Amino acid sequence: MTAFYSTRGSGPAGLEAVLQTGTAPDGGLFVPERLAAFERGALAESGTPAELAQRMLAPYFEGSFLAAALPEICADAFAYPLPLADLSPASNGARLQLLELFHGPTAAFKDYGARFLSACLERILAEEPASSQPLTILVATSGDTGAAVASAFSGRDKIRVVVLFPKGRISPRQEHHLGCWDGNVQALAVHGAFDDCQRLVKQAFADSRLRKRVRLGSANSINLGRLLPQSAYHAWAAIKAGEGSHFVVPTGNMGNGVACLWAREMGAGIGRILLTTNANRTIGDYLSSGEYRGRESIGTLANAMDVGDPSNMERLRHHFDGDVERIRAAVSAASVDDERIRRRIRREHEDSGAVLCPHTAAGVDACRDWLADAGAPDGDWVIAATAHPAKFETVVEPLIGTTVAPPPQLEELLSRRSSHEEIPAELAALTPFLG
């Protein structure tokens, strides 16, 4: 049976408790006692992403009643395509491919992990007495997380969802997608930045009187149930792209970056990992200086990455015992500002007709910039395409001079009525919505 421990030392905890609470009692983040390790090539025996996820995650489910349901859970979470699409080759001739992670119900990579977690939690709660207190999922979003969580948990029994987003700092379509759910989902626009939303979540979890009254859980990437399945799609892309392919991961709260690292640690044939941020340079500055300094976030075109104090840096540093030299040997980081994002969106569309969302454009630009340097590693590259560009039409369409048609799943969401409440960035304003 796999045990889970906090990055700050407390534990052990069982899988069901880890999935329900999200954060550890001491304020840290849960991690497995050890990562599963697979023989080279063993993961490639899987025929579908769902089969691969089942194989990779089975060790973490040993001893849990959820183990019997893992095939069904993975089939639900990975019911959408994970294609690789070619971009024009890099200046050094390297092949560049986009891992399209936007074919789920809200057209963002977070659909996979959110659906996995919701399927697990619904089964856990179904085992409890009918009189048990419902679980309130409290989530902060810088753009795409909230819609993915709302979609995944909408209509689930014994679960309520409260989504916090920074007012005026996400795209109009993102905002619509957050507020178009009925019943058990409540969207709240916070007067502040994403960091304020994340701070409110942490304050709520740390408030012992509130926790006695309300049963809280999280579906941000602080929840291990989001990170583990995300490692599976990186492994799937590594199988399809070929052994030793390097990966570029646009990242904000560092969940997707840690998931890619864990996939490599578990045996996926991933080469170098390049973490890409926007003008929020916290990750890159840490690798450069060796000193971690969280800060206020900066608003950018790639708003889902507008994070100044990434929560999952705690997991990254814990994995390497805080040794920054080991971290530098494992991952690299690059920062791409808004002007470079604009240029890259235009350039890729002119060169090959590719249409990129701002976050994916940051990853492509960082990759091409690195490959123009003679010191870049040899080999092919996979760049995580994190969201469909139609979610950012007000940014993308003026740059490429044409409209971007929303995929059918977004069209359906846009046809719904959408509403939300507004609150100041104060815990006292949030608590009435928590039940």
In whole angstroms, how far apart are CA 40 and each of 130, 232, 243, 261, 319?
46, 15, 10, 16, 21
pLDDT band at 182 (very low <50, low <70, confident <90, very high): confident
The answer to the question of residue 256 being in a domain is yes
pTM (predicted TM-score): 0.94
323 is in which domain, residue-wise? Answer: 77-109+224-406
The answer to the question of residue 55 being in a domain is no
305: left (phi over 0), alpha (psi -120 to 50) or beta: alpha
Total of domains in the chain: 1
CA angle, 77 as apex, 27 and 48 as ends, to 5°? 125
The answer to the question of residue 90 being in a domain is yes
The answer to the question of residue 87 being in a domain is yes
Q: Which residues contact 39 (CB under 8 A, 6 or more apart)?
A: 267
Q: What distance in Å separates the CA atoms of residue 314 and residue 254, rounded to the nearest whole number? A: 9
271 touches 377 (CB < 8 A): yes
58 touches 67 (CB < 8 A): yes
Share of the chain above pLDDT 70, in %: 100
Residue with tokens 């007012």: 167
The answer to the question of residue 71 being in a domain is no
- Mean residue pLDDT of the chain comes to 94
Range 190-211 average pLDDT: 90
The answer to the question of residue 209 being in a domain is no
CATH number assigned to the domain comprising residue 81: 3.40.50.1100
The answer to the question of residue 149 being in a domain is no
pLDDT band at 366 (very low <50, low <70, confident <90, very high): very high
What tens digit of pLDDT does each residue of 292-327 get? 999 988 999 998 899 999 999 999 999 999 999 999
What tens digit of pLDDT does each residue of 251-276 get? 999 999 999 999 999 999 999 999 99
pLDDT band at 218 (very low <50, low <70, confident <90, very high): confident
Burial of 130 (0-12, 13-18, 19+ CB in 10 A): exposed
Query: What's residue 400's pLDDT?
Result: 98
The answer to the question of residue 115 being in a domain is no
